[in-house]
Amino acid sequence: MSKITGRRQAREWAVQLLFQTEFNPNDLDIALADFWSDEERNPSDRDRIYVEEMVHGVIEKQRDVDRTIAKYTDNWDVDRLGVLDRIVLRVAVYEMLFRGDIPPVVSINEAVEIAKAYSGKGSGRFVNGVLDRVQKEIDRPSRSTYTTQ
């Protein structure tokens, strides 16, 4: 498998960090320092900032994000979802709701690919179905960015 670089890798790192905090909710700054101390990780400054913004943002907005996910996971409580699927959905929904610099279609495509790579066989379809429903309900174009004033 070729080495993943750029934003995809940053998203995967964000998912890994959020997965870690799911099971070990200690001090986030310590978790980040430990995570970045791995010599195999060599992010650009831009990617490192993105990862840390995503992790902090998902944690800070988790209630809002989970409420949104719950609306589109028919008869499934968010806590009952597989941990990895739940985290992938959280990252994508956070981007769709709170990151105007990322088109929703990009968030969906990236989440589907990460789910397929790291979770069960049907996870990509499941994640795509949920995120497609979220995207149809949010008030922004799927393929463009926006800035807030």
Backbone φ, ψ for residue 102 (5° rounding): -125, 120
Name the amino acid, one letter, at 24: N
Name the residue ranges covered by the structural domains of the chain. Answer: 6-137
Per-residue pLDDT tens digits of the chain, which is 149 residues long: 334 558 889 999 999 999 988 887 778 888 898 899 987 888 889 999 999 999 999 999 999 999 999 999 977 788 888 999 999 999 999 999 999 899 999 999 999 999 999 988 789 999 999 999 999 988 776 666 655 43
Summarize pLDDT for 68-111 with one digit per residue, the tens: 999 999 777 888 889 999 999 999 999 999 998 999 999 999 99
120-125 long-range Cβ contacts below 8 angstroms, 24+ apart: 120/82, 123/82, 123/84, 123/85, 123/88
Topology given in CATH for the domain delimited by 6-137 = N-utilizing Substance Protein B Homolog; Chain A (1.10.940)
Sign of CA dihedral 5, 10, 11, 15: positive
